[in-house]
Structure 1
Amino acid sequence: MISAVLQPFWLAFFRGAADPPPHRSTRLRRPMPGPLRRLLPFDHYDVVQVADLVLAWVLFGTSLSELLEMNGEGRQPLWLVYLAAVAFSLPVALRDRWPLAAWRLALVLLPPSLHVVQQVTDMQPPYLEPAVVMYLLVLYSVAARCDRRITAVVWLTSVLTVWIVDPNSTALSSVAVTVIVLFGYNVRVRRRATASRDAAVGQRFVMAERARIARELHDVVAHHLSVIAIQAEAVPMAARGDAARLEEGLAQIRGLSLEAIKELRQVLGVLRDQEGRADTTPAPALDRLDELVGNARSAGLTVLVRRSGELEEVPTAMAVSAYRIVQESLSNAMRHAPGSAVAVELVWAGDLRVRVANGPGRGPGATPGAGHGLMGMRERATLLGGSLEAGPTEEGGFEVKATLPLERSP
């Protein structure tokens, strides 16, 4: 119990530390001018810290000038006058980087400095304006950047200090101290709430981006590897010892491999480079549908394509999603219904309707997977405000139908 009570005092006076300075916009971090950049070991300066240094210099000059003028008869040694001026200004210069250390320094230097003011000016209470400005600014920094237990100790110590220095002004001084501490604490609470909200938004963005990358990887890898696997099995059988046909088949496999690598680089480009540089090649869309169908035919499928409407007018995001839906549907047909007949229909009439239906395969297909392909297709349709239905047909095949509305397309 005693330890819990004493710990905040121990933290406030000795071991505690403040939070790092809040993140500031680029407008408050300015490039260092050319001549100074060659002299100083940093390229940018913080506008807030520079403002604190300027204010500290103004407080030092103002308090020193006032104290020297009132100390004309030499009532106090000059070094004490300069010490008071430093006490009323230096904590302001430190408050942004080390707010708690600035308060500790002010707490140590204020009693002798206020004594100097009282002896030189006979003021009651002995509060020069620079001293008041300095202490309130330091109090705000502590309340805005330190744990509430530390802030409570700093507030209590400040109230006791003003009571000891001048009991007659305790009420007004305590109100000023309390208002500043509450204001700083409110700023801290709002900053932490904003940081938590931004972290949650960032986490949702990361999860959405991970899902997007997972969809792209699944579509690229599943389709191209399915075609490559089928081609690798079919080419030697079709060549029957014919070196020319074997070479032609291997060239097709090599082309498919290079295409898969190209699309993988496009998906993972932003992850490769810490500076954010990425491959800017456009994602495959409906303009490459014939190439996609050609790969499926070379893998043994019989594909019939029917187009309706001006597909060139389909927005890019919608065209990419439609391409991926067709690609995944053809990949599923290759794996689960090899050699089947597939009908691909694309209808553009205010919205885009995609239908891919395959019949039963000519041979045994692969075992059912985890369903990530269907999940990815549904996510693509949902992101555009559309819908997707998928299921077996009465003829023993499989059908995918998607509707992508224009209204929700970017």
Structure 2
Amino acid sequence: MPAVLSRVLNPVVHLAALVRQAAWAAPDQRVLLLPTLASHNRVRYALAATLGGAVLVLTVTADTQLNQLVPGSLAWALAGLQVLPLLLAATRPLAAWRISAIGLTLTTFAEVGHAPTPFWPWPVSGCIAYTLLLFATAQVYGRDVAVGIDLLTALAVLAPAVPLVALPPVVFAVAAVVVSLVLVLGESIHSRQEAERHLVAAEEQRRAGLARQAVLEERSRIARELHDVVAHHMSMIAIQAEAAPYKEPGLPEQTLRTFTAIRAASTTALTEMRRVIGLLREEDENAERAPQPGIDRIPEMVRAARQAGMQVDLTLAGGPDRPPAVVDVSVYRIVQEALSNAGRHAPGARVEVEVVRTRDAVQVHVADDGRSNGGPAPGGNGGHGLTGMRERAAMLGGTLRAVPREHGGFEVTAELPLDGVPAQRGGESSGDDEDS
């Protein structure tokens, strides 16, 4: 028996809570139903003037109809309670609805003892205002408040008119259905807006996740490239340490032990580094056998881009000294990503690639003029190339700037410091190019 009673009472208690929420418990939050239009002063003033004029007309009309049933001063007060809340509808719809509902209910009681208008005790203009407030409130507050408003309208606004002013039951039923339909329409718009907000939030989370994934993938790639660079130097240390006793016979025993320790330490470091880097490789990814590209391979990359139909101007400036390997590889990768982005997002545009080696840094500049022969290439939807370039610049303590150009197009500018690391002797570098 208690379980049955509970099943019966729970819906009643829930509905009572919804009625309470709509009547006074729900917070009357401040909203703006027309944020885009109201952002311009002229439009805001025009809307305010239009709304004020419409409310004035509706109030006068309601007063005219009510004057036939109640004294003039009371008619003005009741008309104001029913219609004037429309002025609050754009910012405080729930408070406006509560005031209008009170006005309609008081109108019913004020008409007791007077001959009611045929089939309907309320002025048409007051009903129009009330309907608009029903819609606005349901659109802003959603289902729970809409259900409470529906019940309150039926029980506190419409129902008293049946015994007090002889409102026909059929008219009562039709009015209740119309009120419910208006509230359903407003709530459906509210639900759609909520769904759109959730989709936007989910899309932002997805993009943030993709950006984090791009950062991790780029860091993994950088780590593998650094492995190749560091492994080369560690191997040279091990070889030199092992060859030293043969180059200089008769070295003291302590010196020989030092060289042996150096060789053992470098070999151990190489082994541990390969083990750690192996964890960063995908299961189906094979170790790269080709040497890492550098600045000296940028002309080769530019030739490949020209063969693919791109218009690329290349400038390489600097001395014969090659920058440290990690800078060399990063310059190539930044140019590669920037160039590929230019081809993806501005096909047919002219691209300028400039790599300048100074005493303290390597400066990279890749810019396109933005002209396109047919729009972005299929599948070119942005990606996270800029994320990877920024990771490389940050790793070296450098800077990277990627912004639209003033007269169209896009440009990527990077400066990678050399940090006083001795440069490698060798020819100029070339490689593939990249875009932003």
TM tier, smaller: 0.3 to 0.5
TM-score (norm 1): 0.47
Select the structure of larger CA radius of gyration. Answer: 2
Larger relative contact order (C-alpha < 8 A, sep ≥ 6)?
2
TM-score (norm 2): 0.44
